[in-house]
Amino acid sequence: TDAPQARTPPPLHSMRTLLLLHTVLLVAGTTSALRVSSSLFVRSRAPCSVRMQDDEPHPWSASAALSDFVAPNDADTSLPPLPAEVAPSTAREPREVIMIVLNALRNPDEPYENYGPQVAIEHSAPTNGASKLSPGQFAEYLNEPSYQILTEWDEVEMEDDLDIDDDGEHAYQDVMVKRTDDPSWTHINWNLVKVQGMWMSESVVTY
């Protein structure tokens, strides 16, 4: 496959307009309800198929050590700052963070290239390997079979109640996602930790 061609970033004012339109749609789809869907949610579902992870750990996975990933030399300095509607904030609950990241990864190159990976990285805890990657490097991991579903899901469901530790610093949420044309569901074990009062992804494991 030919290597992607470098693109000239659009003017900053155009990028801000795209960001505003995109984030209005994103925030409208973000909810703390138990069940959320990018289409009409189907409550009945077929049993999920078990998805095994690849031998090489994804930087989000619990098995990935921070030392396995190094700070990038090709940081995407051309990317604009995230708007307040999707930027990390102490005002967000864990499920809001999960949906912001899922929605961004569903269309990872809208409103600009590597927007989704940028959102995911900025919501990753410093102890998470993903925090050491550039958006371009993170995007490469989305091609792995275990994580392709993050860019292809059509329906999403939050399973059971959100579990928050007694210390109020760690949260755990089971998430299920599926494609419209696939009867099986993929499980996501999403662990979050508070960093300076903000909920961040500590590990995200699909199975």
Cis amide leading into 83 (omega within 30):
no
* Over residues 115-129, mean pLDDT: 95
Residue 163 has phi, psi (to 5 degrees) of -105, 115
Q: Which residues contact 30 (CB under 8 A, 6 or more apart)?
A: 96, 99, 100, 103
Question: CB atoms < 10 A from the CB of 60, how many?
Answer: 25
| pLDDT class of 146 with cuts at 50, 70, 90 | confident
- Could you tell me if 188 and 206 are in contact, meaning their C-beta atoms sit under 8 angstroms apart? yes
- Percent of the chain predicted with pLDDT > 70: 63
Report pLDDT for 2: 52
pTM confidence score: 0.70
d(CA 55, CA 157): 27
Q: What H or E segment, with its residue span, contains residue 198?
A: strand 198-206
Q: Which residues lie closer than 8 Å to 166 by C-beta, 6 or more apart?
A: none
Q: Above 50 in pLDDT, residue 40?
A: no
pLDDT of residue 41 exceeding 50, the answer is no
